[in-house]
């Protein structure tokens, strides 16, 4: 069950690499084309912008998009999308006001009925040529048959003070979704403080540590935290998260998506979630959380 949910096809991995095109934190606005040979020219500046998908109209019927639905085009002719469940990738050629998609590929995570229905319709629309029309911060994509996507430019979330839910684990060119069936309290997440700290949960244990931000680099200090044992799928997730939060790492924010990548290619992709009035997890100064110490599922900690 766990391995099936984490499985991602090779073609998807190639398309869904989450390393951002630039190193400047925040969201670029539009694309000016430039003179680079592999930079897409477009009369409608859709590249380099995080687009929030608002709704889709099929056969005259408009359906609101699932929460968190997004679509993004990079300047090298690739698109990535998510409609509340799976990660989707496709080659996407932008010429003038036309966007031509190659057949999209997707991860295979089980979805709720609403998301699955919307995703199926969106995938069908993303297989061919669409016309783009930009009006201020609103973008409309229209299929040859007259169906439309309504999108809005997504403003970049603030790094500090935002609760970032980790959704993707990165290792070089490989991107793997965080298991969908982790217990709610163990879904990995990060919150950065204005005082150069970070705290959260790495998949099993809570942790806190130093996180000094300079430009597009975050330098993580050794974390301290609880030292509980959890099932292997949760421990594997924790090891991957902690590997990304080790020493200096680059970060980018596009809309509500944060990508953190360490020098050795380990990284995480995370999504901004509504702030909650929760206190910083209680931890004690000591060694990083590991699976080497057996404890109960309670709040026991080790220094």
Q: Tell me the per-residue pLDDT of 90-107, one tens digit each, with 9 for 90 and over.
A: 888 888 889 999 888 888
Highest averaged pLDDT of the listed ranges 102-116, 155-169, 207-221, 288-302:
207-221
Location of structure tokens 């163990």 = 186
Residue 124: pLDDT band with limits 50, 70, 90? confident
**pLDDT computed for residue 85 by the predictor:** 81
Say which residues have a Cβ less than 8 Å from residue 192's Cβ, sequence separation at least 6.
159, 160, 161, 162, 164, 198, 211, 213, 218
Q: What percent of the chain has pLDDT over 70?
A: 76
**pLDDT computed for residue 27 by the predictor:** 37
Residue 29: pLDDT band with limits 50, 70, 90? very low
User: What value, to the nearest 5°, has the Cα angle with vertex 26 and ends 24 and 30?
Assistant: 90
**pLDDT computed for residue 136 by the predictor:** 82
Q: pLDDT, tens digit, for every residue of 283-301?
A: 333 444 443 333 333 333 3
Rg, C-alpha atoms of the chain: 20
Highest averaged pLDDT of the listed ranges 42-51, 101-110, 198-207:
198-207
Count of CA atoms in the C-beta half-sphere (13 A) of 113: 0
Neighbours of 185 (CB within 10 A): 7
User: How far is 169 from 26, CA to CA, in rounded Å?
Assistant: 20
User: How far is 99 from 92, CA to CA, in rounded Å?
Assistant: 6
- pLDDT over threshold 50, residue 81: yes
- pLDDT over threshold 80, residue 11: no
Say which residues have a Cβ less than 8 Å from residue 124's Cβ, sequence separation at least 6.
none
**pLDDT computed for residue 274 by the predictor:** 66
Most distant CA pair in the chain: distance in Å? 63
Three-state secondary structure of the chain: CHHHHHCCCHHHHHHCCCCCCCCCCCCCCCCCCCCCCCCCCCCCCCECCEEEEEEEEECCEEEECCCCCEEEECCCCEEEEECCCCEEEEEEEEECCEEEECCCEECCCCCCHHHHHHHHHHHHHCCCEEEEEEECCEEEEEECCCCEEEEEECCCCCCECCEEEEEEEEECCEEEECCCCCCHHHCCEEEECCCCEEEEECCCCEEEEEEEEECCEEEECCCEECCCCCCHHHHHHHHHHHHHCCEEEEEEEECCEEEEEECCCEEEEEEEECCCCCCCCCCCCCCCCCCCCCCCCCCCCCC
**pLDDT computed for residue 255 by the predictor:** 77
């Amino acid at each position: 069950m766990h391995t099936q949910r984490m499985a991602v096809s090779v073609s998807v991995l190639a398309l869904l690499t989450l390393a951002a095109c630039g190193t400047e934190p925040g969201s670029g606005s539009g694309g000016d084309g430039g003179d680079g040979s592999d930079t897409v020219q477009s009369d409608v500046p859709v590249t380099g912008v995080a687009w929030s998908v608002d709704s889709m109209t099929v056969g005259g019927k408009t359906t609101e998009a699932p929460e968190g639905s997004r679509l993004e085009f990079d300047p090298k002719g690739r698109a990535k999308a998510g409609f509340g469940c799976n990660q989707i990738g496709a080659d996407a050629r932008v010429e003038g006001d036309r966007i031509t998609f190659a057949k999209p590929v997707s991860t295979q995570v089980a979805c709720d009925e609403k998301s699955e229905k919307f995703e199926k319709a969106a995938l069908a629309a993303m297989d061919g040529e669409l016309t783009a029309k930009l009006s201020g911060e609103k973008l409309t994509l229209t299929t040859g048959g007259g169906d439309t996507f309504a999108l809005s430019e997504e403003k970049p979330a603030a790094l500090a003070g935002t609760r970032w839910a980790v959704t993707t684990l990165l290792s070089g060119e490989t991107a793997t979704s965080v298991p969908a069936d982790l217990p709610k309290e163990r879904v990995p997440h990060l919150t950065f403080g204005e005082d150069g700290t970070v705290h959260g949960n790495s998949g099993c244990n809570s942790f806190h540590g130093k996180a000094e931000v300079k430009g597009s680099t975050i330098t993580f200090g050794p974390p301290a935290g609880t030292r509980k044992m959890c099932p292997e799928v949760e421990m594997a997730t924790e090891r991957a998260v902690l590997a990304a939060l080790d020493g200096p790492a680059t970060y980018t924010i596009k809309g509500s998506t944060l990508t953190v990548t360490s020098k050795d290619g380990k990284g995480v992709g995370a999504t901004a979630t509504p702030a909650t009035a929760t206190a910083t997890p209680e931890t004690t100064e000591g060694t990083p959380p590991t699976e080497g110490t057996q404890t109960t599922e309670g709040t026991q900690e080790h220094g």
